[in-house]
Amino acid sequence: MPVLLSEEHQIRQPEDVVLVRQAVRQKAVELGFNLVDQTKLVTAASELARNTLQYGGGGTLRLESLVDGLRRGLRLTFADEGPGIADIEQAMRDGFSTAGGLGLGLSGARRLSNEFHIDSRPGEGTRISITRWR
């Protein structure tokens, strides 16, 4: 699938989560997503960026504009080199949290996107990518 544009953002401190939200909003507006879809993308990005910071000890976000025939899409890939997730199935469940949160981060982000991929190995880190199509 052709990738039109790609950029990377660092996620090192809480302020970076705000910057990620702004960067995703800007890209979503550029790609012509409607207001509700923009809001869903930004919210999902906020959840995943926070996870990257809290559980992964920081990492990166790659933003990619996709083209598939007449469709345009935005893919966000969050990667960290933290401890990884031992039981992905458990982590995906609503209400499961190891840090005292609401446990809606992963499951919520999946509901807010059209495609969701997670790849994680204990000791090696986690890579989560979500895509939303216009």
| Candidates 1-9, 45-53, 72-80, 82-90; binding stretch for other proteins (CB under 8 A) | 45-53
Does residue 111 interact with other proteins by CB under 8 A?
yes
Contacts with other proteins by CB under 8 A: the residue count is: 26
- Name the residue nearer to other proteins (CB basis): 18 or 88: 18
Q: What is the 3-state secondary structure (H, E, C) of 66-81?
A: EEECCEEEEEEEEEEC
> Does 102 sit near other proteins (CB under 8 A)?
yes
DSSP states of 94-125 as a string? TT--SSSS-S-HHHHHHHTSSEEEEEEETTTE
Element containing residue 134 per DSSP (H, E):
none
In the block, residue with structure tokens 């920081």: 58
Q: Footprint of other proteins on residues 12-41 (CB under 8 A)?
A: 14-15, 17-18, 21-22, 25, 35-36, 38-40
Q: Counting contacts by CB under 8 A, is residue 105 touching other proteins?
A: yes
The nearest distance, CB 123 to other proteins, in angstroms, is 27
Minimum distance, C-beta of residue 49 to other proteins, in the bound complex (Å):
10
Cα(39)–Cα(105) distance, integer angstroms: 15
Residue for token pair 């609401």:
102
Element (H, E) at 133: strand 125-133
Binding residues for other proteins, rule: CB under 8 A, are 14-15, 17-18, 21-22, 25, 35-36, 38-40, 42-43, 46-47, 50, 94, 101-102, 104-105, 107-108, 111-112
